[in-house]
Amino acid sequence: MTKKEFDSIAKSYLYLDGATGSNLVRAGMPSGVCPEQWILEHHINERQARALLRLEDPEKLLTAVEYIEEQHLNVVQTEEYIDGLLDVPQEPPHRQRLCPIVKDVRLFFNTINKAIHVMNQSGIDASAERLEKEDHIEYIVRIPLSAAR
């Protein structure tokens, strides 16, 4: 077969992975339905079809597939839509707790100095005094009460 012949056949036929139908049947597609044809007719892909199969009510399934077609939903949107129909509780995003590691306390000194500078530029006569003791550093920040009110 020449490349030209292959290209002409490829344009007129649609090839689907054989596992697609098997996976859908295993996932619960009713018997007697041709999975590949059903996917083609509804313009969806295997993952969308698998998400739809979570709907046990055939009427809900048909309504959902029509909505997915009309809205041109992608896989993630389809799965979220199906979750909404099934009232699947949404998991809050996992927030990783950050544990700051401070290797240089000069960062804090700079922050205090910058805050004092900003107050001074705003007309507040604030001041900071750094005292180095034997076992610690002491910062005394003075902000006039007239500026604090």
Q: Give the model's pLDDT for residue 31.
A: 72
The residue ranking higher by pLDDT, 7 or 133, is 133
Going from N- to C-terminal start, the domains of the chain cover 3-85, 106-148
Say if residues 82 and 51 touch (Cβ distance below 8 Å): yes
> What amino acid occupies position 136?
H
Tens digits of per-residue pLDDT, 77-104? 999 999 888 887 777 777 777 777 777 8
Which of 35, 72, 67 has the alpha carbon at shortest distance from 53? 35
Beta-bridge mates of residue 128? 141
pTM: 0.47
**Three-class DSSP category at 107:** helix
DSSP annotation of 134: S
